[in-house]
């Protein structure tokens, strides 16, 4: 009988321990979800564009006036990059080695050229200079073959308010847009939307004014058996008698 | 002009490393780094790369990784230092300033690696007690006059100080 009581007590203790363990796991899970939510990566955050504010400034600078990004790489080697050289648009990601919301961008911007919206972009990661940021930390955060330049001057030239901050510069059109994004999906969404809008704009600009309306009129006339140059469409003297 | 990259890091478009410095004009990219090749005594000499098109992070000393993508209106410049044994030798004659390139010196046969349409120029010299090879690639042999002038705009801004 005593043995049975002992087994019951042991089982009760095991159940209590399991309950405490599960409660602890649930609490840490909730804590993780809360932190993800704060980073804009919550499980229910389907509309990633909601946290984005990248826009072109009205006083957009021409490409020739955009300053180069001049500083050193995390290995201390001097470098000057020009975001408007070449044939690709450049995504300049102003990141800090100390901001937690930059982590996701450090991890994802891992190549000097990346495809967004079906088009190749040059990717330049710019931190502040080695007097304001830790070069060794920048080196450890750099992923893959990412092109990282440490330049306080670039932050001043591009009037960066804080990290993370993004500038999209185009060799032909200068700065297409700039602003902040707190998730990588939001950034990708902006770049894709920006490209699609440019294609739409180019297609619209290539179409003659009123082209849609004229096409519709021609289609309707043909359906009625009238070609665009049909004589019946043109008035002749005496067609109308105002008398 | 700073003589060391950390003396004024990230604050101007003047770059410098180990006595090689350049005031970068608009429309150019420049990177200065240690050579890929190591000398017998473990030394690595500096290499300056400049181009009118984007310079990738991974490049060979003589432009591998860059020249393959060089546009017809583009220029690539490599300034490679050699060891003290080359200083003042017949191949590396002394000069007073960083040499300029002349259109007549460009030829497709001067390329390290033949790429149709491109041409190259190589100049060896000694300046400030240091020996260098200046290697310039232009995207179009037919446009060598204009592209040589473009290269000289950058070369006029390169300064070589006595070695550290």
Q: Residue B6 is nearest to which of A67, A76, A147, comparing CB atoms?
A: A76
- Cross-chain Cβ contact A78/B30 below 8 Å: yes
Please report which residue ranges of chain A form alpha helices under DSSP H. 2-38, 103-108, 135-141, 152-157, 184-206, 211-223
Average pLDDT, chain A: 82
A195 pairs with which residues across the strands?
none
- Best mutation target among A78, A125, A131, A157 (most B Cβ atoms within 10 Å) is A78
Asked if residues A114 and A120 have their Cβ atoms less than 8 Å apart, the reply is yes
Backbone angles phi, psi at A127, to 5 degrees: -100, 175
Q: Is the peptide bond before A60 cis (omega within 30 degrees of 0)?
A: no
B150 by Cβ neighbours in 10 Å (0-12 / 13-18 / 19+) ranks as buried
A–B CB contacts, 8 A cutoff, strictly below: 92
Quote the tokens at residue B6.
Answer: 């950390």
Asked if residues A126 and A155 have their Cβ atoms less than 8 Å apart, the reply is yes
What does pTM read for this prediction? 0.72
Asked if residues B79 and B132 have their Cβ atoms less than 8 Å apart, the reply is yes
A143 by Cβ neighbours in 10 Å (0-12 / 13-18 / 19+) ranks as middle
Question: Which of A47-51, A185-189, A194-198 has the largest mean confidence?
Answer: A185-189
Q: Enumerate the residues of chain A whose CB falls inside 8 A of the CB of residue B11.
A: 71, 129, 151-153
B138 pairs with which residues across the strands?
B75, B119
DSSP letter assigned to residue A84:
T
Q: Enumerate the residues of chain A whose CB falls inside 8 A of the CB of residue B29.
A: 68, 79-82, 85
**Per residue in A105-132, is it b (16+ CB within 10 Å) or e — as a string?**
bbebbebbbbebbeeebbbbbbbbbbee
A229 by Cβ neighbours in 10 Å (0-12 / 13-18 / 19+) ranks as exposed
Per-residue pLDDT of chain B (164 residues; tens, 9 = 90+): 343 444 444 344 788 888 999 999 999 999 999 887 766 677 789 999 999 999 999 999 999 999 999 999 999 999 999 999 999 999 999 999 999 999 999 999 999 889 999 999 999 999 999 999 999 999 999 999 999 999 999 999 999 999 76
Average pLDDT over residues A199-210: 70
Quote the tokens at residue B13.
Answer: 């478009």
ipTM exceeding cut-off 0.95 for this assembly:
no
B129 vs chain A: nearest CA distance in angstroms?
23
Asked if residues A89 and A171 have their Cβ atoms less than 8 Å apart, the reply is yes
């Amino acid at each position: 009988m005593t043995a049975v009581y002992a087994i019951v007590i042991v089982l009760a203790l095991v159940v209590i321990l399991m309950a405490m363990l599960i409660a602890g796991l649930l609490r840490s899970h909730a804590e993780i979800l809360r932190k993800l939510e704060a980073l804009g990566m919550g499980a229910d955050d389907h509309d990633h564009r909601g946290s984005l504010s990248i826009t072109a400034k009205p006083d957009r600078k021409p490409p020739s006036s955009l300053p180069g990004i001049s500083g050193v790489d995390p290995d201390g080697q001097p470098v000057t990059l020009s975001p408007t050289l070449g044939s690709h648009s450049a995504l300049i990601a102003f990141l800090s080695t100390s901001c937690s919301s930059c982590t996701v961008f450090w991890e994802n911007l891992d190549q000097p050229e990346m495809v967004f919206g079906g088009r190749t972009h040059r990717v330049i990661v710019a931190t502040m200079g080695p007097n304001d940021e830790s070069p060794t930390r920048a080196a450890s955060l750099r992923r893959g073959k990412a092109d990282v330049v440490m330049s306080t001057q670039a932050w001043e030239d591009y009037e960066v308010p804080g990290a993370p901050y993004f500038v999209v510069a185009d060799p032909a059109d200068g700065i297409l847009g700039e602003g902040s994004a707190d998730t990588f999906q939001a950034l990708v969404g902006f770049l894709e939307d920006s490209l699609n809008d440019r294609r739409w704009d180019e297609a619209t600009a290539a179409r003659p004014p009123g082209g849609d309306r004229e096409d519709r009129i021609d289609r309707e006339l043909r359906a009625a058996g009238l070609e665009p140059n049909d004589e019946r469409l043109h008035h002749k003297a005496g067609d109308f008698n105002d008398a | 002009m700073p003589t060391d990259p950390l003396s004024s890091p990230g604050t101007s478009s003047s770059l410098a490393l180990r006595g090689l410095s350049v005031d970068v004009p608009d429309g150019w990219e420049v990177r200065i780094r240690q050579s890929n090749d190591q000398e017998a005594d473990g030394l690595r000499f500096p290499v300056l790369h400049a181009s009118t098109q984007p310079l990738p992070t991974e490049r060979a000393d003589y432009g591998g990784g860059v020249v393959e993508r060089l546009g017809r209106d583009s220029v690539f410049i490599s300034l490679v230092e050699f060891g003290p044994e080359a200083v003042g030798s017949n191949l590396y004659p002394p000069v007073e300033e960083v040499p300029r390139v002349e259109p007549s010196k460009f030829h497709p046969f001067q390329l390290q690696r033949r790429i149709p349409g491109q041409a190259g120029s190589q100049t060896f010299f000694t300046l400030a007690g240091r020996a260098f090879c200046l290697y310039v690639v232009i995207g179009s042999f037919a446009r060598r006059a204009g592209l040589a002038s473009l290269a000289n705009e950058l070369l006029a801004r390169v300064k070589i100080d006595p070695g550290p």
